[in-house]
Chains A and B, each alone.
Chain A
Amino acid sequence: MGNNKEQLLRDIGIVDFVLTELTLYLDTHPFDRNAMEYFNHYNRIKHQMEKEFSMKYFPLNTSMAESNKEWRWGMAPLPWEGVCG
């Protein structure tokens, strides 16, 4: 997977796309175990990647915004500031 910020952010976006697709499928196939395994697998991957991104750069959502010295969520760059790639 990616190493620098833009690549990691793009990879998170791609895994998020995969999860959206699987969600749409599972909504109409709620007993498809195979699809559920795929979903669980990629869901864990996305959480790991988001956690990694949050530690290295800034939190992508408030659930990853645990802070001590400064309020990391508030200090994170805003999307329209062109930092999010």
Chain B
Amino acid sequence: MQDYLYDNNIDKFPVAMAYVPWQRFDKMFDDLEKAYCTGTIFPELDKPFTGRRCV
């Protein structure tokens, strides 16, 4: 899985294409109960919808 660094290769990326940055995982939530209720163990994926936009 070739991983192109998003930030400094942006000019090489063709236009009109969607790009999803690669997930970088470091630390998961400590409180498993809270993670379970939140719906993810990954802080970087914890994006609650606030009625207008995600945080």
Contact = CB atoms under 8 A, between A and B. Distances in A.
A18 B28 CA distance: 9
Overall SS of chain A's interface? helix
B35 A34 contact: no
A64 interface: no
Contact of B41 (A21, A28, A29, A32): A21
B36 A17 contact: yes
Interface size grouping (class) on chain A: 10 to 19
Contact of A14 (B23, B26, B36, B42): B36
Given A13-B36, A28-B23, 6 more contacts: A14-B32, A14-B36, A21-B28, A21-B41, A29-B25, A35-B25
